[in-house]
Structure 1
Amino acid sequence: MLTQNKRLIGIVLTVAFLLLIPLVAMQFTNEVDWGPFDFIVMGILLLGTGLACEFVLRRVRNKEYRLFIIGAILVALFLVWAELAVGIFGTPFAGS
C-alpha cells in the first residue's frame, strides 16, 4: 500500500516538475507564451495520463497487454498534445 501511494505522489510531483519547465522558460524568453488555461489543460493531460497508466499497472496482469495499453495511452497523449500545439489534424481544438 505504501509503495502505491509513493507512485501516486511520484506522478503528481512529475507533473508539477514538467509544468515548471515552461513556467521557467517564460521567464527567459518570449517564445514560450503560456497562459493559465494552457497550464490547466497540460496539467489535466499529464495527470490523466499518469493516473491512467497507474490504473493499468495495478489492474492488468498480463505484461504484453499492459505494455500495449500503456503504449496506446502514450500515443493518445502525444496526438492530443500535438493537435493542441500545432493542429496536425485541423480540429477546432487547435485554435487554427
Structure 2
Amino acid sequence: MITKKQKTLAIYALPLAVLTIPLMGNLFSKEVNWSVSDFLIAGTLLFTIAFMINLVRSKIKKQSHRILIYIFILLTLALIWIELAVGIFGSPFAGS
C-alpha cells in the first residue's frame, strides 16, 4: 500500500524527472539548446502544477470533482507550455 507521504513525494519528484529530459538533451545533443531561464520557467511551471495537484488531492474529497479539476489543471499547463514554446495565441511572451 502506498502511503500519503509516498504519493506526495512522487508528485514532487515527477517535475524533476521531466526536467532531466531536456537536461540530458542539452548535455549530449546540439539540437536542444535550453538556457538557465528556460529551466527556471519550466521548473516553476511544473512545480506549481505539482503543488496544485497535491492541494486538490488533499482538499477535494469527491473523486469526480477531483478528476475534473486535475484535467483543468493539466489543460492549463499544456496551453501555457505551448504558448511559451510556439506562441499559438500571439502573446508578448510567446516563443516565436
The Cα of 1:13 is off from its aligned counterpart by 1.9
The Cα of 1:16 is off from its aligned counterpart by 1.2
Cα deviation code 1:20-68 (max 9, x no counterpart)? 1101011222221100111011111111111101111111111111111
The Cα of 1:3 is off from its aligned counterpart by 2.9
Classify the secondary structure of the residue corresponding to 2:3: helix
Structure with more helix by fraction: 1
Which residue is equivalent to 1:47?
47
Unaligned runs of 5+ in 2: none
- Measured in 2, the distance between the counterparts of 1:61 and 1:12 equals 21
Which residue is equivalent to 2:89?
89
Instruction: Confirm whether residue 57 of structure 1 aligns to residue 60 of structure 2.
Output: no
Asked if 1 retains the 8 angstrom alpha-carbon contact of 2:22 and 2:34, the reply is yes
TM-score (norm 2): 0.89
Question: Which residue identity lines up with residue 90 of structure 2 in the other structure?
Answer: G
Asked if 2 retains the 8 angstrom alpha-carbon contact of 1:11 and 1:47, the reply is no
Q: What is the aligned-residue RMSD (CA, Å)?
A: 1.6
Q: Runs of 4 or more off by more than 4 Å in structure 1?
A: none
Question: Which residue identity lines up with residue 43 of structure 1 in the other structure?
Answer: G
The answer to which of 86-95 and 74-83 deviates more is 86-95
Which residue is equivalent to 1:13?
13
Which residue is equivalent to 2:75?
75
TM-score (norm 1): 0.89
Q: How does 1:24-39 map to 2 (within 5 A)?
A: 24-39=24-39
- Measured in 2, the distance between the counterparts of 1:5 and 1:63 equals 19
- Measured in 2, the distance between the counterparts of 1:12 and 1:68 equals 21
